[in-house]
Structure 1
Amino acid sequence: MECDEQDRPALLEMIRCYSVKYLAAHLKHETIETKLGLSNSTVRRAIQKLIKLQIIKRIHYIRPMISGLGANIYVILQVNDLENLNRGKEADEPNKDTVSKSVSENEPSIYKS
């Protein structure tokens, strides 16, 4: 079962809000579930989808005192727009030797003569 598309933006917004101060969000799944009103499985699917799309990175956190798993750390990754853009063909240099003809006979006239 795929996670609902509206869950991912809400989850990403929550991570963004929590990561303003430290540039990373330290969140438990339970906190996300409670704040967004989502089930555990929906939160997990949304997180997996954001990781797969390379929008966020999850860092597993181990509590130093009890050596157990703590809340995960989520980092929003930078988007490398310039590398992934489809740029198309480069425009040729304009040829200064030729002049394009005006095709005014087929164009509608908006002025009355």
Structure 2
Amino acid sequence: METANYAAMKQYQSFNAIEEMNTSIREFLYNYSHEIPKSAVECIKVLSRYACKIIGVAWIKIDTLATILSVSRSTVERALRLLKKHGIIQSIPTFRKGKGGNGCNVYIIKKLHDLKELPSNDVPNEVGKMKGRTSITNLDNSKADSVKLQSETESIKATLSRRINKPNNVNEPSLNDLDNSFTPGNVQNEFIQATKPFLNAIDTFKLWSRVLIAYRKVSLEKPLYEVIDCAISAFKQSVFAKKVGRIKSTFEGYFYTICYANLVVEKRRECKHLLYDFLK
């Protein structure tokens, strides 16, 4: 696509209003900010500020992003790769008309959980032709999937209705009886496996919430999955302390203290590494 080709960029508009775009980004950060570094969080925020003219479409140079964020070009490139991996943005390359060479990339901010692929063909006329075509096979498959989904939904509703209106003498597991297979999907599997022999789903989720609080407080550049050993080590230390009677307050509070201390050590290592690179 040609640089500064407004008509070509307009076709990629992904939101109808700025508030809709901001809501989608807030939802993304709520679910994934613990999995991506701070540089990626700040990067998507800057892109959103440049995506207000054509809502959801930002065109900006990587060097400009690096200057705004006060980080290196490689840090921005790494942040953009992570955002693409999580599906919140898609990049479209551009070229300079007449001069030749690559222009600044166009970044499309996508709706969370939107599985619809944006058109890969950047020529407006070709895109227009594609819009008018509909495959009969795809249409039939779509209708079949819709009927199947509706049938499954009605089945689930009927099941829930029976469970809610069941006789009182039928025992149903309480919240505290749920094992770790019921743990929400945002809890990392390594942590679930470490706590599985000792805790149920609700207690594992409570401890994971403490992990997220500690991680955000320390402000590590590394994503959480790279330092998950800090949380697992804190849990094992806390179990040992509980067994030998060292914990005087609550298990959750003791665990948080150890987890936070472990993450602080990781933060110091990061700072030393950055200082070493600077001196080099």
| Cross-structure match for 1:72 | 105
| Cross-structure match for 2:90 | 57
| Cross-structure match for 1:86 | none
Report whether the alignment pairs 1:11 with 2:43. Answer: yes
Report whether the alignment pairs 1:35 with 2:68. Answer: yes
Q: Which has the higher helix share?
A: 2
CA distance in 1, matches of 2:72, 2:38: 14
| Cross-structure match for 2:160 | 91
CA distance in 1, matches of 2:165, 2:92: 56
CA deviations 1:75-102 (Å, max 9, x no partner) are: 1011127xxxxxxx75242447x4x38x
CA distance in 2, matches of 1:80, 1:51: 13
Report whether the alignment pairs 1:48 with 2:81. Answer: yes
| Aligned-partner residue type, residue 31 of structure 1 | T
| Aligned-partner residue type, residue 88 of structure 2 | I
3-state SS, counterpart of residue 91 of structure 1: helix
**Runs of 4+ more than 6 Å apart:** none
1:56/1:91 CA distance change after superposition, 3 Å? same
| Cross-structure match for 1:25 | 58
Structure 1 length as normaliser, TM-score?
0.70
**Pairwise mapping of residues 94-109 of structure 1 onto structure 2 (< 5 A)?**
94-95=164-165, 98=167, 100=168
Q: Which has the higher strand share?
A: 1
**Runs of 5+ unmatched residues, structure 2:** 1-35, 115-155, 170-280
- Rg (Cα) greater in structure: 1
| Cross-structure match for 1:110 | none
**Runs of 5+ unmatched residues, structure 1:** 82-88, 102-113
RCO higher in 1 or 2 (8 Å CA, sep ≥ 6)? 1
CA distance in 2, matches of 1:70, 1:41: 18
Structure 2 length as normaliser, TM-score?
0.30
